[in-house]
Chains A and B, each alone.
Chain A
Amino acid sequence: MEARSNTAVGVTLTINGVERNASIEPCVTLLDLLREEFHLTGTKKGCDHGQCGACTVLVNGTRINSCLVLAVSRNGSEITTIEGIGTPDELHPLQEAFVRHDALQCGYCTPGQICSAIGLISEGRAKTRDEIREAMSGNLCRCGAYIGIVDAIEEVMAAPKRKTVP
């Protein structure tokens, strides 16, 4: 099949509070833009088909799969990736809780899990353990750290105040 227009289009996104511009082909997904153009490689490419949740980021505060979104269609949006959540010296409460509850082994799914959990908490829908499990079902963990992940989210939801790291 003939190649269609590969005319680059301009995209402006506010990523972790910083306005960033890029000239990209329309076929570039938000995930590939973050990783390949802006070198924000904290957001992971797992399945690349919306089945694993490793690419989860927040767009205008809402959790989405960045692998299934054309970056150009989100022009002007505010994006939060794991690079914008906590720092090594000052972890986000969810990051602290993930450490405390052994909510990871290999860590590949963790950026997506954290972004998804932040989205879950701000949605304010899930209250019970069953509801947290259901609302996190879009994030797979091949190491099977699900019990720790739900423990961590439950803890942060119950005590939203910031805890100090020992």
Chain B
Amino acid sequence: MRRFEYLRVASINQAIERLSDEPGAKLLAGGTNLVDLMKYDVATPTTIIDINDLPLREISETSDGGLRIGALATNSDVAFHPVVENRYPLLASAILAGASAQLRNVATVAGNLLQRTRCSYFYDVMTPCNKRTPGTGCPARNGLNRNHAILGASQDCVATHPSDMCVALAAIGTMIIVQGPNGARSISLADFHRLPGDTPEQDTTLQNNEIILGIELTPAPEFQRYSYLKIRDRLSYAFALVSAAALLTIDDGVISTAHVALGGVAHKPWRDTAAEVVLVGRPASRGNFDQFASMLLLRSDALSENGFKIELARRTVVRALEQAASRTPQSQSDKHIH
């Protein structure tokens, strides 16, 4: 690991000031991704700004019935919070589908939002990578790309976003609250992560001198129909090949709202609200779910090794919607798919 200066800050403003003064500085929260990237020489911060003393761990209900979650709340804090378990079970389920208990005990909400792709070329500093070193090329496009994107990729980058939590946040509808030198602003999750385009080095729309304060979840009714279905190469502790987060409201067999987000398929959690509209007012039937899934994947594009993910994604969406509709969400411990 390269050497760096260590600064433990006592205030949010102190963190923002240092970020503004020193472009090479990085914030340290749980560190489960950043420290790993530093060991691989992929991240080489000049200063580590440790923000663990900042008061950003609180989880509290908002006046409009939503939920505000502090940036430093750990993944375990969130997954086992009573309000999350009762009103946002999709989020709890998605978090518990990811990583391991040890990692979830340390990894934070903000770190999860900002975690970087697991593309093997990005991690290997001996190979080119436009995301790590802009302008060097993308060996994944014609190389090892079995895990890579089938939606929204560019000539320059075919990486996927690895988070499970963010897929649930996309389906729920979430605002990211950030603060910079000019004050605070909110960014919707849909606008927070980017598609790679010709600047894949930028994962998000967060500015270099901004800090995430927390997230706010859209108010959710209790007992909403949901499922988080994650398909991977082994039963646990692996990144998704494809995952689907489904939220449904059904009245008398007819769908009144449908939110579906896909993970493991793109540079960001993938959601298509225009396609969701076709489900509204229709019976919650397999035929309608099939039609929706096909629409969602209409613009999918296979690389040399990941063509299987298109059909896998289609079936995962249909199954997740069926699980949600029948109130039999995917268990994250009993991995049989019912």
* Interface residues in chain A, defined as those with a beta carbon under 8 Å from any beta carbon in chain B: 1, 3-7, 9, 25-27, 29, 48-50, 53, 56, 62-65, 68-70, 72-73, 116, 119-120, 123, 125-126, 128, 130-131, 133-139
Q: What is the bound-complex CA distance between A72 and B38, given in angstroms?
A: 16
Q: Please give me the residue from chain B that is nearest to A131 by CB atom.
A: B333
Closest 5 CB pairs of A and B: A138-B100, A26-B6, A137-B236, A134-B333, A137-B237
Residues of A within 8 A of B50 (CB): 70, 72-73
B39/A4 in contact, CB under 8 A? no
What are 25 residue pairs bridging A and B, where the CB atoms are less than 8 Å apart in the complex? A3-B3, A4-B46, A5-B3, A48-B39, A49-B39, A50-B36, A50-B103, A63-B102, A65-B103, A68-B106, A69-B35, A69-B106, A70-B6, A70-B50, A72-B50, A73-B28, A73-B52, A119-B105, A123-B101, A128-B333, A130-B331, A137-B100, A137-B236, A138-B101, A138-B102
Q: How far is the CA of A137 from the CA of B35 in the complex (A)?
A: 21
Contact with A along B291-317 (1 / 0, CB 8 A): 000000000000000000000000000
The answer on a CB contact under 8 Å between B4 and A27 is yes
* Best-buried of A64, A69, A139 by chain B (most CB within 10 Å): A64
Tell me the complex Cα distance, A69–B103, Å.
Answer: 10
Neighbouring A residues of B100 by C-beta, 8 Å = 53, 137-139
> Taking the complex as formed, is B80 at the interface, i.e. its CB lies under 8 A from any CB of chain A?
yes
Give the residue of B5, B36, B334 whose beta carbon is less than 8 angstroms from that of A130. Answer: B334
The distance from the CB of A77 to the nearest CB of chain B, in whole angstroms, is 11
Establish whether residues B102 and A65, one from each chain, have CB atoms under 8 Å apart when the complex forms: yes
Number of B residues near A (Cβ < 8 Å) is 36
Known: A125-B80, A130-B334, A138-B102. A27 touches B32 (CB 8 A): no
> Smallest Cβ distance from B75 to chain A, in angstroms?
12
B334 contacts A1, CB within 8 Å? no
Point out the residue from B5, B28, B44 that lies within 8 Å of A70, measured CB to CB: B28
What residues of B have a CB within 8 angstroms of the CB of A128 in the complex? 333
Task: Name the residue in A7, A26, A53 with the highest tally of chain B Cβ atoms < 10 Å from its Cβ.
Answer: A26
* Minimum distance in angstroms from A141 CB to a CB of chain B: 13
A1 touches B106 (CB 8 A): no
Given contacts A50-B32, A69-B31, A134-B332, contact A26 B106 (CB under 8 A): no
Q: How far is the CA of A131 from the CA of B236 in the complex (A)?
A: 11
Q: Which of A65, A72, A136 contacts B106 (CB 8 A)?
A: A65
Enumerate B147-184 residues with CB–CB distance to A below 8 Å.
none
Alpha-carbon distance A65/B35, docked complex (angstroms) = 12
- CB-based contact B102/A56 at 8 Å: yes
